[in-house]
A and B are shown apart, each in its own frame.
Chain A
Amino acid sequence: MSEHILPKRTYYTIFFILLFCTYLTVQVSYFDLGRFNAMAALIIAAFKATLVVLFFMHVKYSSRLIWAVAASGLFWLGLLLFITMADYLTRGWQPFGSV
Chain B
Amino acid sequence: MLPEAVQHHTHPPALAHHFDNLEQQREAATLGMWTFLITEILFFGGLFMCYTLYRTWYPNAFEAGSHALLIWAGTTNTVVLITSSLTMALAVHAAQTGNRRLLVAFLIVTIVLGFAFLGIKSFEYYTEWVEQHVPGLNYKFEGPYAVQEQIFFSLYFVMTGLHALHMIIGIGIMAVMLWWSVRGIITTEYHNPIEIAGLYWHFVDIVWIFLFPLLYLIGRHANV
Contacts and interface: CB of A to CB of B under 8 A. Distances in A.
Contacts of B89: 11, 55-56
A41 B62 CA distance: 15
B199 A57 contact: yes
Contacts of A76: 38, 41-42, 45
Interface residues on A, range: 35 or more
Interface in A15-31: 15, 18-19, 22, 25-26, 29-31
B154 interface: no
A3 B27 CA distance: 10
A99 interface: no
Interface residues of B, number: 51
B218 interface: yes
14 contacts: A15-B86, A18-B85, A26-B220, A32-B222, A45-B209, A49-B209, A55-B89, A56-B198, A57-B198, A65-B27, A73-B38, A74-B41, A76-B42, A85-B56
Given A41-B218, A57-B199, 15 more contacts: A1-B26, A25-B212, A26-B71, A29-B213, A29-B221, A37-B221, A41-B213, A44-B213, A52-B202, A52-B205, A63-B27, A65-B31, A66-B30, A70-B37, A84-B49
